[in-house]
Amino acid sequence: MDAHDGIAPDRAGDGPSDAQAAGLTSPDLSGETNAWVAALPPPPFVHPAGSNSDPRFRRFSPRVVVLIVAAIILGWLLWMARDSVRPFVVGLLIVYLLEPPVRWLSRHGVRRSLAILLVYIVAIVVLVEFLNLTLTPLINEVARFVRDFPTLAEQFQAQLARLSETYSRLQIPPAFRDWIDSMIAGLGQGVEGGPNVGLAFLFPIVTGAGSFIAALFGYLLLPVWAFYLLKDRAALTAQFDRSLPSAWRFDTWVILRIVQRVFGQWVRGQLILGFTVGVMTFVGLLLLSRFVDPVFGRYAVLLSITAGILELLPIIGPIIAAVPAVLLAATAGLEPVIAALVLYTLVQQVENNLLVPKIQGDAVELHPAAVMFSIIVGGSLAGLLGAILALPIVAAFRDIVRYLFRRLSPDDPDALASSISGLRLERDGLPVPTGPVPAGPAPASPVPAP
Could you say which DSSP state residue 428 is in?
Answer: G
Residues constituting the chain: 450
Looking at 78-92, 194-208, 214-228, which range is the least confident one?
194-208
pTM of the model: 0.68
Question: Does residue 444 register a pLDDT over 50?
Answer: no
Name the percent of the chain lying above pLDDT 90: 14
Question: Does residue 406 register a pLDDT over 70?
Answer: yes
Are 233 and 99 spatial neighbours (Cβ–Cβ below 8 Å)? yes
Phi-psi region of 31 (alpha: psi -120 to 50; beta: other; left: phi over 0): left
Question: Domain residues of the chain, as ranges?
Answer: 86-243
Give per-residue pLDDT as tens, 83-131: 777 778 888 888 888 888 999 999 998 999 999 999 999 999 998 888 8
Residue-level pLDDT at 198? 43
* pLDDT bucket at 300, cuts 50 / 70 / 90: very high
Looking at 98-112, 297-311, 325-339, 349-363, which range is the least confident one?
349-363
Please give the single-letter amino acid code of residue 404.
Answer: L
d(CA 275, CA 351): 12
- Within 8 A by CB and 6+ apart from 319, the residues are none
Selection from 441, 313, 258 nearest residue 365 by Cα: 441
Provide mean pLDDT across the span 198-206: 44
Residue by residue, DSSP assigns 262-280 as HHHHHHHHHHHHHHHHHHH
Residue-level pLDDT at 21? 38
d(CA 213, CA 112): 33
Looking at 49-58, 192-201, 310-319, 381-390, which range is the least confident one?
192-201
Residue-level pLDDT at 436? 45
Average pLDDT of the chain? 74
* pLDDT bucket at 356, cuts 50 / 70 / 90: confident
d(CA 352, CA 315): 9
Question: Does residue 178 register a pLDDT over 80?
Answer: no
Selection from 346, 277, 341 nearest residue 313 by Cα: 277
Residue-level pLDDT at 287? 94
Residue-level pLDDT at 189? 52
Give per-residue pLDDT as tens, 9-49: 333 334 444 433 333 333 334 456 666 666 677 777 666 55
* pLDDT bucket at 423, cuts 50 / 70 / 90: low
Provide mean pLDDT across the span 233-254: 82
Name the percent of the chain lying above pLDDT 70: 65
Residue-level pLDDT at 407? 81
d(CA 63, CA 75): 18
